[in-house]
Structure 1
Amino acid sequence: MCRIFWHAFGNVAIATKQAEHGGYDFVWGEVDRKNHVEQLITIIMGGTMAFCRNILCLLFLLIMSGSGCAGDNSSDFFKEGEQLLKDGNPGGAIVLFKSALEQDPGFYDARVKLGIAYMYSGKPEPAEKELQKAFHQKQDDPALLIAMARLYAAWNKGEEALKPLARLESLSMMNAESEELLGLAKAIQRDKPAAIAAFKRSLELEPKRHSARLALARYYFFQQMYDDARSELATLVVDTPDDFSALRLAVDLEMKSGSAESQKKALHNVLRVRPSDTYSRYWLAVMMLRDGDVTGAQVMLASMKKDAAEDYYTRMLEGVLAFRAADYTTALNQFQKSVSLKPTYDAYFKLGVAAEAKGDLETALSHFQVLVDRWPNDEASRRMIATILLKQGRTEEAALVAEKMVEINPENVWANFMLGNSLMAKGELDKAEQAFDAAIAKEPGMVLAHLRKGAIHKAKGETKEVQTSLESAVEGAPDNLLARTALANFHSQRGNIAEARKVLTGGLGSGSTGDAQVHNQLAALDVAEGKKADAIAHYDAAIKADPVFEPSYLGKANLLLAEGSQEKALAELDALLEVTPESVRGLIASAAILDVLGREADADARLLRARSVSQHPAVLELIAVRYLRKGRTDEALATLASGGGGVGSEPLINLRASILMNNKRPDEALQIYDSVIGTMPMLARTGKYRIYNQTKQYGKAFDVAREIETFATAPAETQLGTIYASRALEKQGKSKEAFDAIEVAYRSSPSPELLLEQASMSARQQNLEKAEAYLTACIKQYENYAPAKSALGNLYLLKGNRKEAMQIYEGLVQDGGADITVLNNLAMIYIDSNTNKEQALRIAYAAYLKDPANPAVLDTLGVVLLGNERAADAVRVFQRAVVLMPDRPSLRYQLGRALVGAGKRAEAKKELKSALEMGSFPEADKARALMGSLEKS
């Protein structure tokens, strides 16, 4: 009978809390604060079972009327209606009460019960109509006044609910039930003291009144009076340990303010009473994910799909698991289905996050805007909108959103931080600094604000102030590893390794994973100083601190590979696989090393294990390469196609097209990109652009570039289209037109990418001085833009300035901005200068373990292995590279060199002959000389 109170009260409490909604974490989501409103909606809409009972009741009446039972009087109908109401069938009761009133329109009790039946059927308008009619008959009936108060409370009309309660009070007829209703009415009116006092009076009159105590506990919860709520629930659990509503409220309470253990306990208590409850199963699965138990969460999902496949929480959990696996298309579908089942805040927010992760930024914006429209003060949604606008380069709009956040709540730390970010993106550094200062004033330990201030000072060339900002970040949050890393990098970049060590060492003791990360960074400093033994010791300490932290094993294995201890490196990866048998990175890395050693069967076994665990692109790439080496092209293509076409499959799609191009099948390669143009438009168009370039169809390449500009969803995409169009013009001999197009684009919308392209075009036209000038300007203006630094290093290498190039590359490695090209070039400099062969091998292996199917990486590793007198290993590496790029004469030349070193002269001659037949290439003279020496001997 009290059930409707809880639905009404949930609605009241939500109304009082909408303005206070705060942050949001995707993995955890939020306690479903809209749940109680949704239950009310369920009641208002009526249930399927109630509908069926109504139909049966009507049939019963028809049968009875046709069977000569017309003698039934209004009293009989009334009694039968009362029984149906007691049995929980208000729909059937309505039919009988109406029949009673047809025979006796003045039947007061039937009128009251009809209003109550309408109320329990979720039909407040006809309920009010009938109860008002009854009120005109009797104005002082306590049962009627209670029913009216209950209706208005359920209808969220606090002022209306107070009127019948005031009449009861004037009649001195207030009791525990009416005091409870008074508490609900006062809660609706947001009169906190009066609501709590009324609930307490109800309990004083009737200490065992379950509904009043649950209402009070719920009100305490929504007022964030968590200890009081917990106290009331503890009393309830003693009296009614299996009450589902109380146990569910306990879950909400623990999810908001409890520990992980108390949350799990509360969820298990619900499932003990109701094992099928999808809400509790969902949250248990989410907690499993937090603890890293993906398998447990998957098992929970399987059980939910078995008995509640179309349930809201089943769909939500499937979406969360898909999101975690980076399957954003599936996540989007599941969250969209969740929204259609229940348009909750949680579902809409996750839908927006999934769309943003997939790259569909406009769709993401629309979902977050729905939340802002419904909850105008919601900070989390506005923060996501500002973040997306910044990502799109829409800085003015982002700043307006951030300013609105500050206007809504000037004390909100994140609002001030987002405003600083937006102003910084606009180039208004002084105003941005003021916003970051405001955030720090409210939360001195906000590391990100300190780091952004440091970036502002760095852009202004204020080195001392940079250091001060970074030190403030560490002081404000001494356990924050991000802050310590930034300060340590600041010192190490200036050659102050000892100070960097001191900063990092101060972060030890924060926890298992945190300590492992610190030891890894200390190991990196050891490597930079050539202290290999110390680095190994730090990696061992990291493994001891957190045995499942993968980078520790991979870092140590890389050092062992550099010294030529391949079996020891494998042993380290085996140790990783002992503690985490399903480590995809561990399986891939060990398979890559086994490939170099020529142990193909063992490598195959590792890859098959990896594939059974995950459809990781690197796994499928390596398996495909194996098929290619055996001449089984169709199987290679099928393997790559099995990875699907969602987010994360980009390298697989590109490799499929590359294989088809190598096999002279350009039309099929184009079809692959056409097949994904609806879901991955940028990937499809950039892929088609490359194919048209390769086939020298520069006019079509130009048209595709214009399509990229036309359909761009962000400034960066527009600029890419402009760059591609200018390159197509350049290929058609229209260099001046191409260069002018880039200059016009830069004047319209300056960006480091356009400056870099101007430098690249100058270099392609052999104007190296002009190229260097552009790159220098780019680095000065965009100091943290790593591609410009990399390009400057490449330019120095082209000009023969190897020392300068090496310094730039080493700086990028230290800053963490080194891409595969940087690692390759640095390794080649080391091996060519014959000064640091072991370091060259370490860098080459680091790149190889990151991307074992990249032909450029394989090329570098092969050259470095040759330089370290490991020709047999080099042969196997070059053979894999040639499979991927069969038309590259340089690769065949290098394979020929390696075959000579391995004593396989006949095979070497064959590869050198193939290379020379392909036309000119940089090493052609060396290839001819080597071929000549082989023919003489």
Structure 2
Amino acid sequence: MKKITLIMLVLLLATAGCSRKTKEDLQAEGIKLLKEGNPGGAVVLFKSALEKDENYSDARLQLAKAYAAMGKRDQAEREFTKVLKQNPSLDSVLLELSKLAIANQKGDEAFKLAEQYLAKHPGNAEGLELLGVSSAAKKQYSEAEAYLQQALAANPKLSSAKLELASVYVAAGAPQKAQSLLQAVIQADPQGKKAYYMLAELEKGLGNTDKAQELYRKLLEINQSETFAAYKLGLILLEKEELDKAESVADGLIKSYPAKGDGHRLKGLVKFHRKEYADAINSLLTANKYAPSLEGFYFLGLCYYNRGELESALSQFRKILDNVPTSRQARIMTATVLLTQKRIDDAITEINRVLEQNSQDALAHNLLGNAYMAKGMFDEGMHELNRATKLDPKVVDAYLKKGYFYFSRGKNNEGEAELATAVQAAPDALSSRLLLASYYQRGGKTAKALSLLRAGLTGKKSDAPLYNSIAAVLFSDNKRDEGIKNLQKAKQLDPVFPASYQNLATFYAASGNYDKAIDEYATLLRNDPANVQAMLAIAGLYEVKGKQSDALAYYRKAHDTGKPAAVLALAAYHAKQKETDKALKVLDESIKSDGRNVTAMEMKGRILVGEKKYKEALKVFDDIDTANPDAGVALKINTYVLMNAPAKALEQARRIIAKYPSSARGYLVLASIYESQKDYTSALAEVKKGLRVDPLNVQALLTEGRIHELRNERDLAMTSYADALRKKSDFVPALFAQGALLDSSGKKKEAITKYREVLEKTPSYVPALNNLAYLYADGWGNKEEALRFAVTAFRQDPGNAGIMDTLGYVLLKNGRKDDAKKVLEQAVKLLPNNPSVAYHLALVYKESGEASKAAQTLQKALMIGSFPEAAAAKAMLAEVKK
């Protein structure tokens, strides 16, 4: 009670002291504290000044700066905005707001604010500098360099612009330029510590640790109290595994500066490297008490993880993500902990966030493969593991050996030898064995892959994934009977492992044995009655067989599980059968139970559009607009185009541009409107406008390529697709577009190569599967493999009539006339105005000896309009009429 009374008294005295001072005195004292590095104390004084006069804009400006110094960006932004409203002449606030936007990773917003300032102060060096920094934040490095050079031309002494330019050089892959520039900055200002730190980090990154150490020592000569330089020196010693020397540095820092965090943090890292986790935790907690840091939270998390205190570990990593949502290391470790806790779906969500930032992250793909394997999703798991080893053959599950990933500052494992070491160190760890087998198989070392996989067999349930991998290797080596035997073994060991049944079913379906394929899925369902994928697969196979009542029964069975995919599948089936009312009823029931089910609403709207019930469709799209404005607007625009109401469509598109002025999305919508009117010149002009404001938008480049194709400008189209791939190397739609362009140009072999590349990146990419199936069926590959591609595509998208057409055509080319007829008759019902589909059905009738049906179907096809096979259709018509 006495303590509380004393605190209250102190506060009252402080407040009384403030009340006796003028607002100018309070502001002056606040500025002094801010300069001394005490923004928290400054905030109290600036607020007191504002209590005396809330319109005192100078104090409010300083309050905003104090909040910014404390990292309280939202409060800082609010105060800066108030200053600007109170006193518009203080337009330097625009620069402060631009800096905040950069700190919040809002490059576009930062750029606009700096532009506003420069409009009033042309050629201002600080404004130009911020244009450069915001361009760098958007990874537009050439533009960033140009603006920063302009800033330095305006003010050659602006050292901050030089440092920013050095950062741009590093980010753009020109470290030598950065070195020269930083050395020049140091020469001009030997006391400027920031340049020393930047150059030391650059030298260290280039492997010049001796130079880095020299620079840190120079900093300590300039100022002995520069504890961070000593800390950095200690880290270099840690990386050299000179732990005693590093600990000596830490002890010296703690002795000289016990109330600073650097010494305690370094001590904690030394203890961590010695695996003395309890002592490490104590040191790191002390460090964070004096100076909280992301590095301190990260290593605390690693310590807790290694001690098996998983919730405590998660807490530390989440502290990092609260401050830096883009932290790859913290996100990956969060996923690792969640996987250890068997919270697989949560882990997958975290890993996908890493891949959204960098789809080429081999370690994230490896971790995602582990997660899928843990869920029994063998195909998906193997795809991710294959992707990981392709992106980086050095990638390996380091946590299997050390308890954490690549972030302990230890040495990374390298190459095949290290992968083998991982398997030896943890022979029961399935993912490392599968990774190494994938590495061998891709290198053509089939025997080594099989030997490694077989060496991991234990006769236990956990062998099922290994037997599936063995089967995949054998199938690729054309040893089908052996492959089937291994899949049967996998089923015996683990009767509920879905991949074994799926792989067998795919093999049987591709071989034309639909009944056996159905049997496999039926057995899986007996063992796992809730497996929706199996129900939908059986339904699709019954469709191929022409047994619609059986197909419907399984679609309904899947629907009754309530899974969204099954609901949509049943609705799509009814829509294919032209049972629109039934399809809408299924969707309405789903929407009623979940009013924000945008996918179901979108399907409903599209069905209504197909029925030309445009007003009803627009009402549905208005509902979508409420839940997801971007999707709703795009759907409404398409509807207005079909309604022949271009003015309304254009109005909606301009809404998007107004909402996202720095994005290409609105311009792409405008382009699609002009494209629908066959005004390709205007469409292309809008795409180019979009690329001017959003040059990294790969979707815009894809659209640009497509419009060039429509204008018969094939070389320009290929250039656009290549530009998209340069900006995003794994952008599959652009790679597929290149293949399709080569295909339509008659360059079939080159097209096949591109389609194969697509499937290496995304094995389930339906357009590539479909086109490869067609090309192989036409003699550009193995016809049996064509059937496998077609069946796989159909399994992915059984509602797609175009894929059904390809499947029918491939069945015909494989001598399966009866099956082909059933499939193509269904495809013609779904695509009655497509002459190519009718021509394929006519081929079946001709092969089946049904000349009159062939003639009738060909006549109908030729009446619809021109199509690629028109000449062949006329010749065949003359032949069957004889």
TM-score (norm 1): 0.49
The answer to whether the 8 A contact 1:445-1:477 is kept is: no
For residues 863 and 548 of structure 1, do their structure 2 counterparts lie closer, same or farther at Cα, with a shift above 3 Å needed?
A: same
Per the TM alignment, residue 855 of structure 1 is displaced from its structure 2 partner at its CA by: 2.0
Per the TM alignment, residue 833 of structure 1 is displaced from its structure 2 partner at its CA by: 1.0
**Paired residue for 1:660?**
608
Give CA-to-partner distance per residue, 1:414-434, whole Å, 9 cap, x none: 9xx99x9699859999xxxxx
**Paired residue for 1:889?**
835
Give CA-to-partner distance per residue, 1:247-296, whole Å, 9 cap, x none: xxxxxxxxx9999xxxxxxxxxxxxxxxxxxxxxxxxxxxxxxxxxxxxx
Matched, 1:644 2:591: yes
Equivalent residue letter for 1:669: A
Matches of 2:635 and 2:410, distance apart in 1: 39
Matches of 1:577 and 1:404, distance apart in 2: 36
**Paired residue for 2:465?**
517
The answer to whether the 8 A contact 2:690-2:700 is kept is: no
Q: Pick one of 551, 556, 560 that aligns with 1:612.
A: 560
Q: Pick one of 594, 614, 621 that aligns with 2:542.
A: 594
The answer to whether the 8 A contact 2:636-2:649 is kept is: yes
Matches of 2:786 and 2:829, distance apart in 1: 24
**Paired residue for 2:759?**
813
The answer to whether the 8 A contact 1:841-1:865 is kept is: yes
Counterparts of 1:531-550 in structure 2, within 5 Å, are 531-550=479-498
Matches of 1:428 and 1:595, distance apart in 2: 40
Per the TM alignment, residue 823 of structure 1 is displaced from its structure 2 partner at its CA by: 0.6
Per the TM alignment, residue 805 of structure 1 is displaced from its structure 2 partner at its CA by: 2.1
Give CA-to-partner distance per residue, 1:733-789, whole Å, 9 cap, x none: 253673564475367452443443343333333232233334344445533333332
| Local SS of the residue matching 2:591 | coil
**Paired residue for 1:379?**
316
For residues 721 and 789 of structure 1, do their structure 2 counterparts lie closer, same or farther at Cα, with a shift above 3 Å needed?
A: same
Matches of 1:668 and 1:751, distance apart in 2: 34
Q: Pick one of 715, 735, 745 that aligns with 1:769.
A: 715
Matches of 2:765 and 2:753, distance apart in 1: 15
| Structure 1: unaligned runs, 5 residues or longer | 1-222, 225-255, 260-345, 347-374, 391-397, 406-413, 430-436, 458-463
Equivalent residue letter for 1:874: A
Per the TM alignment, residue 608 of structure 1 is displaced from its structure 2 partner at its CA by: 2.9
For residues 468 and 884 of structure 1, do their structure 2 counterparts lie closer, same or farther at Cα, with a shift above 3 Å needed?
A: farther
Q: Pick one of 425, 436, 444 that aligns with 1:495.
A: 444
| Structure 2: unaligned runs, 5 residues or longer | 1-280, 283-306, 335-346, 363-393
The answer to whether the 8 A contact 1:670-1:688 is kept is: yes
For residues 778 and 588 of structure 1, do their structure 2 counterparts lie closer, same or farther at Cα, with a shift above 3 Å needed?
A: same
**Paired residue for 1:581?**
529
Matches of 2:606 and 2:833, distance apart in 1: 12
Equivalent residue letter for 2:579: R
Give CA-to-partner distance per residue, 1:55-99, whole Å, 9 cap, x none: xxxxxxxxxxxxxxxxxxxxxxxxxxxxxxxxxxxxxxxxxxxxx
**Paired residue for 1:562?**
510
Equivalent residue letter for 1:830: Y
Matches of 1:712 and 1:666, distance apart in 2: 27
Q: Pick one of 799, 819, 823 that aligns with 2:745.
A: 799
**Paired residue for 2:872?**
926
Matches of 2:789 and 2:736, distance apart in 1: 16
Counterparts of 1:30-429 in structure 2, within 5 Å, are 378-382=315-319, 390=326
Matches of 2:628 and 2:635, distance apart in 1: 11
Per the TM alignment, residue 918 of structure 1 is displaced from its structure 2 partner at its CA by: 3.2
For residues 422 and 827 of structure 1, do their structure 2 counterparts lie closer, same or farther at Cα, with a shift above 3 Å needed?
A: closer
Matches of 2:424 and 2:480, distance apart in 1: 31
Per the TM alignment, residue 593 of structure 1 is displaced from its structure 2 partner at its CA by: 1.5
Per the TM alignment, residue 825 of structure 1 is displaced from its structure 2 partner at its CA by: 0.8
Per the TM alignment, residue 707 of structure 1 is displaced from its structure 2 partner at its CA by: 4.1
Matched, 1:632 2:579: yes
Per the TM alignment, residue 827 of structure 1 is displaced from its structure 2 partner at its CA by: 0.8
Equivalent residue letter for 1:922: P
Matches of 2:555 and 2:355, distance apart in 1: 45
For residues 677 and 927 of structure 1, do their structure 2 counterparts lie closer, same or farther at Cα, with a shift above 3 Å needed?
A: farther
Matches of 1:476 and 1:738, distance apart in 2: 58
Matches of 1:857 and 1:711, distance apart in 2: 38
Matches of 1:554 and 1:494, distance apart in 2: 26
For residues 664 and 425 of structure 1, do their structure 2 counterparts lie closer, same or farther at Cα, with a shift above 3 Å needed?
A: closer
Per the TM alignment, residue 821 of structure 1 is displaced from its structure 2 partner at its CA by: 0.2
The answer to whether the 8 A contact 1:772-1:792 is kept is: yes
Matches of 1:648 and 1:542, distance apart in 2: 41
The answer to whether the 8 A contact 1:727-1:738 is kept is: no
Structure number with higher relative contact order (C-alpha < 8 Å, ≥ 6 residues apart): 1
For residues 854 and 838 of structure 1, do their structure 2 counterparts lie closer, same or farther at Cα, with a shift above 3 Å needed?
A: same
The answer to whether the 8 A contact 2:559-2:570 is kept is: no
| Local SS of the residue matching 1:783 | coil
Equivalent residue letter for 2:618: L
| Local SS of the residue matching 1:643 | helix
Equivalent residue letter for 1:726: A
Counterparts of 1:667-682 in structure 2, within 5 Å, are 667-682=615-630
Matches of 1:402 and 1:589, distance apart in 2: 35
**Paired residue for 2:217?**
none
Matches of 1:729 and 1:867, distance apart in 2: 40
**Paired residue for 2:172?**
none
Matches of 1:637 and 1:426, distance apart in 2: 38
Matches of 1:474 and 1:533, distance apart in 2: 29
Q: Report which stretch shifted further, 759-768 or 731-740.
A: 731-740
Percent identity over the alignment is: 27
**Paired residue for 1:100?**
none
Matches of 1:569 and 1:428, distance apart in 2: 36
Equivalent residue letter for 1:637: L
The answer to whether the 8 A contact 1:699-1:728 is kept is: no
Per the TM alignment, residue 703 of structure 1 is displaced from its structure 2 partner at its CA by: 4.0
For residues 804 and 572 of structure 1, do their structure 2 counterparts lie closer, same or farther at Cα, with a shift above 3 Å needed?
A: same
The answer to whether the 8 A contact 2:567-2:587 is kept is: no
The answer to whether the 8 A contact 1:520-1:552 is kept is: yes
Q: Pick one of 869, 873, 876 that aligns with 2:815.
A: 869
The answer to whether the 8 A contact 1:489-1:815 is kept is: no
The answer to whether the 8 A contact 2:811-2:820 is kept is: yes
The answer to whether the 8 A contact 1:625-1:884 is kept is: no
Q: Pick one of 752, 768, 793 that aligns with 1:847.
A: 793
Matches of 1:860 and 1:830, distance apart in 2: 11
**Paired residue for 1:150?**
none
| Local SS of the residue matching 1:672 | helix
Per the TM alignment, residue 595 of structure 1 is displaced from its structure 2 partner at its CA by: 2.1
For residues 695 and 401 of structure 1, do their structure 2 counterparts lie closer, same or farther at Cα, with a shift above 3 Å needed?
A: farther
The answer to whether the 8 A contact 1:519-1:542 is kept is: yes
Per the TM alignment, residue 400 of structure 1 is displaced from its structure 2 partner at its CA by: 12
For residues 743 and 931 of structure 1, do their structure 2 counterparts lie closer, same or farther at Cα, with a shift above 3 Å needed?
A: same
Matched, 1:727 2:676: no
Matched, 1:529 2:466: no
Matches of 1:698 and 1:720, distance apart in 2: 18
| Local SS of the residue matching 1:677 | helix
The answer to whether the 8 A contact 1:497-1:525 is kept is: yes
Per the TM alignment, residue 820 of structure 1 is displaced from its structure 2 partner at its CA by: 0.5
| Local SS of the residue matching 1:547 | coil
For residues 664 and 473 of structure 1, do their structure 2 counterparts lie closer, same or farther at Cα, with a shift above 3 Å needed?
A: farther
Matches of 2:567 and 2:332, distance apart in 1: 46
Per the TM alignment, residue 536 of structure 1 is displaced from its structure 2 partner at its CA by: 1.2
Per the TM alignment, residue 466 of structure 1 is displaced from its structure 2 partner at its CA by: 6.7
The answer to whether the 8 A contact 1:489-1:500 is kept is: yes
For residues 475 and 400 of structure 1, do their structure 2 counterparts lie closer, same or farther at Cα, with a shift above 3 Å needed?
A: closer
For residues 612 and 765 of structure 1, do their structure 2 counterparts lie closer, same or farther at Cα, with a shift above 3 Å needed?
A: same
Matches of 1:438 and 1:572, distance apart in 2: 35
TM-score (norm 2): 0.51
Matches of 2:748 and 2:767, distance apart in 1: 15
| Local SS of the residue matching 1:852 | coil
The answer to whether the 8 A contact 2:812-2:820 is kept is: yes
The answer to whether the 8 A contact 1:615-1:643 is kept is: no
The answer to whether the 8 A contact 1:828-1:840 is kept is: yes
For residues 744 and 833 of structure 1, do their structure 2 counterparts lie closer, same or farther at Cα, with a shift above 3 Å needed?
A: same
